Amino acid sequence: MSVRQTLKMLGLSALAITISVEWLSWLFRRLWPERSPRGPLKEVLFFPTTTTCVEHLLNPNTRSTVSCPCPCPLPHGLETPFTRLLQHLLSASVSLDLCVFAFSSQELSRAVLLLQGRGVAVRVITDKDYMVITGSQIGTLRKAGICVRHEMGAVHMHHKFAVVDGRRLITGSLNWTLTAIQSNKENILVTEEPDLVRPFIREFQQLWDSNDPARRFPSTSPLTNELPHLRDRVSSV
């Protein structure tokens, strides 16, 4: 083989290797879009947040641009801790397990309802006292058909975490209230580190099972027959 042919073969081989590497890199990004050379997703958000319009995230008919058609006077197109929180929530495509003490934010409620409308399986665990306070969004979620259970014991259900698609954890001090979002010093950690996500999945399932109203108030129980209003209050839907 001549030198010219050898150089030509080497050139073609180098080109083939380059194309293969680029293709594998593209495939990796498609299969694991949130992963990077630094490892699983890790993000910390601090509150209070700058007040900004989030209609482009919550209304499927708008687009995420500065020229958002929403006529409200709030700033548009800003990225804030709250918009990042919404983006992480709205990334759900299969499931959302939410365990939260106080839930009165209408924007977060809209996000959860939007996910349900997309076919995402949503489960919510909350506190029995705070679910009935003025402004609570729990009733709105239940009326929409979202499965809700509350802590039935004597303690408060004080968790604040969500698990998105069984792989992304959102947790921290933040209650899902307007005051916490706009006025309090709060924090949120978002991670896909498996060793951190798995314990929260187990905790959610343990709470979900232990607060099943069918186990506490079976249909054959005299208590259920005598106090139907109690059965309705602890219904999981």
Task: Give catalytic residues, as residue numbers.
Answer: 158, 160, 165
| 230, HSE (Cβ side, Cα atoms, 13 Å) | 14
* Spatial distance between the Cα atoms of 112 and 127, rounded to a whole number of angstroms: 18
Give every CB contact of residue 166 below 8 A, 6+ residues apart in sequence: 94, 95, 197, 201
The conformation of residue 159, written as its DSSP 8-state character, comes to -
Q: b/e per residue, 46-58, with b = 16+ CB within 10 A? A: ebbbeebbbbbbb
Tokens of 122: 């949503």
Give the residue from 110, 98, 103 showing the smallest Cα distance to 55. 110
Give the residue from 142, 133, 154, 100 showing the smallest Cα distance to 233. 142
Other CB atoms within a 10 A radius of the CB of residue 213 amount to 19
- The amino acid that residue 46 corresponds to is F
